[in-house]
Structure 1
C-alpha cells in the first residue's frame, strides 16, 4: 500500500483527470471521468481526495445509495488507484458545520487542487444552478504500479 503522495504527484500532469468508478444498485460498475485533487478535509484537516459533480448525476445517485468508490489517475505509464468511501457535501447533501458559503469555497478548493482554473464568479453561478456537490474520498486502500 502507498499513500496519497503517489496520487498527488500525478494530478498536475493532466488536471487531475481520473476515472471514477461507483456501483449501481445491481452491483455492476459505472465509470466516468472527473477532475480530482488532494486537499485538506474541510472538517478534519486530514488529506483527502476530492472532486465536484452536479447533483443530478448517476455517480452521485450511486454514491448516495452506496458510498463505495474507486478513483484511478494516470500519467504516462504511472498510475495510482484509491479505493474507499465517499462523503458528499452539497445543497442536496448537507453536512454539519458546512454552510452554503463554505460549500462554495470548498468547490473552488477542489478545482484548485486539481489544477483547474475558472472565471470563479461565473463558475459559482453554474455550480449553484447545477447544485454542485463536493465528493471527498476517505481511502481504505491505495495502490499503484512501481515507478
Structure 2
C-alpha cells in the first residue's frame, strides 16, 4: 500500500480555545451539524453513536439543493485529544482529527486519508478547499458566543 502521506489531505489550524472546548464541538451532534462540511452545507444528523464502533449517519444538504447521504463509523475517540472516523458511503476514507494543546490554545491537526493515490489525486483540489472550509467552520463553532468561555486576554480558560 502507498504511504498515507501520498494519499492524504493534511492540514492544521490553531484555535484560541482549550482542547476540551474544541472536542466539545466535535462530540455534540447539534454542534457538529452546524459546522460539518464545506461552506454552504447544512446537516441533518440521523444517528450519532459517539463511541468506537458507533455509527454516524447524516444527510448533508448542499447549496446546490441536493442531499448527500453519509454514513461513517467512529473508529477511535480519545476525549479532548482524538476523533477518528471511517467514511463508508461514496468516497471511502479515514479522517483523523488530533487536538494538540499549544501555548495560546489548540492546534487542530486534520488528516483525511483515501485508499489509493489515484483516488485522492482525482479529488484532491476539491478536498483541499472543502477541508480548509470545514476547519474554519469548526473554529467559528468553537468560538461562537456562549459556547467557548475564553478569558478577556484571548487565552483559553
TM-score higher than 0.5 here? no
Radius of gyration: which is bigger?
A: 2
Query: What is the TM-score normalised by the length of structure 1?
Result: 0.28
Query: What is the TM-score normalised by the length of structure 2?
Result: 0.27
